[in-house]
Amino acid sequence: MKTKKSILLPLALFSFGLMSAQQKVLQTDFNKGTWEQVGKGLQRKWVSGAESTFAFWKMDKGAHVPPHQHPNEQVTYITKGSVRVLMNNKEHIVKSGGVLIIPANVTHEFFCLEDGTEDLDFFTPVRKDWTDGTAGYLKQQENPLEIVARFDDARPGNVAVSRDGRVFATVHPLASPKLQLVEIVNGKPVPFPSAELQKNGGKANDKQFDTPLGVVIDKENRLWMIDMGQELGTTRLWSIDLKKNKISEKIELPADIAPKGSFVQDVAIDEKNGWAYLADIANPGIIALNLKTKKARRFSGHSTLQSEDVDMIIDGKVIDFGGKPSRVGVNPITLSDDRETLFFGSMNGTAWYKVPARLFRENADDTTIGHAIQKFGDKPVSDGVATDKNGNHYITNLGGHSISKLDSNGTLSELVKDAGLKWPDNVAVSEDGYLYISVNQLNTTTAFSGEKDSGTPPYFIYRVKLK
């Protein structure tokens, strides 16, 4: 009996018919995937099956793929525009409608000749150098990563840096870790502020941390951590005095604002006016908490809080969440340095929004807040964001193994790209001009893969010098 392998075009419905019934059938819509910036004027979308890789390239005039070779046969089909390919000391001009077959292990080089050029590439076998990130154009050496901390037994969640350079991190709750909050000491995670506050595999209780994730440090040098309470059933906001290294406050969110099952995972603190802003992805919404009165309100139901119909594609695979393609709503949330503008976006989203924070402080109704929301700029599919004093937003780019920078004018660029950024979860800006990045391979957890956790420790906190 003969088996059949097929590629179904157009790209609006792309799938592989795999040879074996045991192999997972992959189907995605390239219109729902975001572009990965590979180099100047060079973007791609790609997927891999069990035995092959398929890529869709978009190029600007002058874009260049440097000389390289791979053990894969490559079939290049130019659907729009034209390219010049150098191979075996010969020049090949491939125009719209043209096909070029590049044998395995032959050095070749691409030059784009026209703006708007589009290229479909088919490789067999799978491009391992893409899936493991060793391809040359997946690295940028201008901004080398420095290792701040190594996690051998658990995944870092979010990271925060104090004004005097102390580094803290939550431990991601998806893997049921023993520790929940740590300080980095000599490159290693140490329980903070004490071992007694860590759950350590025990049952959730009101006196210990449960399932925290979001962590930030305000301008008064207080650490704030949002504890989702996934086991306890209660969402709590903890505050720790970093001078005394002691809990200074624990605020329990009311059940009508954050009911059991909420997933409140990100927090921004306005120490000037005494407010906290939190993002809930379970019932997409923004929770505004008055830190003085402890009264909270929820803003929900608005379209900007919802996931867009955009696939999360990492290493050529569409990432699931809860057994179907990930569609996660509002997650990253930050404040401007003057605390007057609230910024937010969805994880599965390509837009970064802003809204005046005073509307929450003044208890404006949802309609008024909704009408005031404006798009600030574009963003990649992301998990974490940090905003600096100059109004620049540093956004984790999950599919690009990179950190994007959205400047104060709304222009999006790439700050650093490195194969080691395997699910850059969260970022924090330090006083001395570094960006700290927690990296935890979250796409390999059971929650996202639906399979046994395939993460490969160690996991890291890196930092990179900001220009």
> Of the candidates 376, 384, 439, which has an alpha carbon nearest to the alpha carbon of residue 410?
376
pLDDT band of 451, cuts 50, 70, 90: confident
pLDDT, residue 4, reads 34
Query: Mean per-residue pLDDT for 439-464?
Result: 92
Residue 9 has pLDDT above 60, yes or no: no
**DSSP 3-state assignment of 444?**
helix
Residue 138 has pLDDT above 60, yes or no: no
CATH number of 146-465: 2.120.10.30
pLDDT, residue 117, reads 96
Q: How far apart are the first and last CA of the chain?
A: 61
Query: Mean per-residue pLDDT for 1-8?
Result: 32
Give the start-to-end residue ranges of the domains of the chain: 14-136, 146-465
- Pull the structure tokens for residue 229: 């309470």
Global confidence as pTM? 0.81
Contact between 122 and 97 under an 8 Å Cβ cutoff? The reply is no
The backbone region for 218, taken as left when phi is positive above 0, alpha when psi lies in -120 to 50, beta otherwise, is beta
DSSP 7: B
Cα separation values, 79 from 26, 87, 213, 300, Å: 24, 20, 45, 43
Residues in the chain: 467
- Alpha carbons 453 and 403: distance in angstroms, whole number: 25
Segment 357-412, tens digit of pLDDT: 999 999 999 999 999 999 999 999 999 999 999 999 999 999 889 999 999 999 99
Query: Mean per-residue pLDDT for 12-23?
Result: 32
How many Cα atoms occupy the beta-carbon half-sphere of 376 within 13 Å? Answer: 24
Per CATH, 14-136 and 146-465 having the same topology is answered no
DSSP 319: P
14-136, superfamily in CATH? Jelly Rolls (2.60.120.10)
> Of the candidates 310, 308, 283, which has an alpha carbon nearest to the alpha carbon of residue 298?
283
Residue 26 has pLDDT above 70, yes or no: no
Residue 106 has pLDDT above 50, yes or no: yes
pLDDT, residue 37, reads 84
pLDDT, residue 318, reads 87
Cα separation values, 136 from 133, 281, 379, Å: 8, 36, 25
Segment 230-287, tens digit of pLDDT: 999 999 999 999 999 999 999 999 999 999 999 999 999 999 999 999 999 999 999 9
